Amino acid sequence: MEMRMMIFKSYEELSEAGATIIVDLLNQKPKAVFGLATGGTPVGIYEQLSKMYSEHKVSFKEATSFNLDEYVGIPQQHPESYYSYMQQHLFQHIDLPAEQAFIPNSNAEQLKEECERYDLLIQQNGQVDLQILGIGHNGHIGFNEPAQGLLSGTHIVELSDDTRRANARFFDTMDQVPKFAITMGVGTILKARQILLIVKGADKADIIERALTGPITTELPASLLQTHPHLTVLITEDAVTPATKERTRV
C-alpha cells in the first residue's frame, strides 16, 4: 500500500491542506478531473477552495467534476439534494462551468440507464485524477454500504438504517430521509489516480482504524482503499487511535 497519512490538530488545518492539494493539482493540470464528495467533512475544503478562487489563486474553468452520489426520491432543487449541496458549498462560488460538473441525475426516468450513462461519461473523460472521499460510520464510501458483495459501476443502492440515521440530521423527520441513492461503485472509485480520504472527529476513530489496519472486506467498503496505489489520508488527530498511528507508520 502506498499510503500517506497527514494528521492535523484542527479541522481548519485539514481543510486548508486538502484545498492546497487540489489547487496544486489544478495549477499543474488545468484540465484535471475530480471526483467530489458531499457530507459534513468536505465542507471546509470547499470553503477554502472558494476563498482561494476569490483570491485568484486558482481557476476551475477547464476542470471537470463527477460527484459520487445523489439521493433518489427528492427533486434536484430540494435543499438537501447533493445537487443543492454542491451549488451552495462550492459551485456557486467558483468558475467551474455547469456543463463540466456532473452529478448523477436521480430524477431521470430510467435510473438504470442513468447509471450506465454516468459510467460512460466518466470513461469518456479519461481517468479521475483526484477522488475526494469521506467515510461513513459503517465504513461506507460513496453510498457503497457494507455487504457480502459490492458492485463495480454506478448503481442504485438501498441506504442502510445506519446511513439514514446519520443523515437524518439534515432532514426534519426520519421519514423524509431518502431510502435510495445512486452511487458510483467501488470499481469506479478505485480507478482514480489519487484518492484523498478525509476524516474528522473522534466518532470516526474506530471505523478508520478498522478500515486502514484491518482485513480487506466488502463488509467494510473503505478497507478496499488499502489496495489503492496512491491513497492520501487527511485526518484530525482526535480520529487517530494508537493502533492507526502504529500500523500506518506515521
172 catalytic residue (yes or no)? no
Which is catalytic among the residues 145, 155, 209, 228? Answer: 145
206 catalytic residue (yes or no)? no
**Smallest gap from residue 148 Cβ to ligand F6R (A):** 19
**Smallest gap from residue 36 Cβ to ligand F6R (A):** 8
Which residues sit at the interface with ligand F6R, rule CB under 6 A?
Answer: 37-41, 68-69, 134-136, 140-143
69 catalytic residue (yes or no)? yes
Nearer Cβ to ligand F6R (32/86) = 86
Which is catalytic among the residues 140, 155, 167, 228? Answer: 140
129 catalytic residue (yes or no)? no
Which is catalytic among the residues 69, 70, 114, 129? Answer: 69
**Smallest gap from residue 192 Cβ to ligand F6R (A):** 14
Nearer Cβ to ligand F6R (30/79) = 79
d(CA 150, CA 217) in angstroms, rounded, equals 10
**Smallest gap from residue 61 Cβ to ligand F6R (A):** 24
Catalytic residue positions, numbered: 69, 138, 140, 145
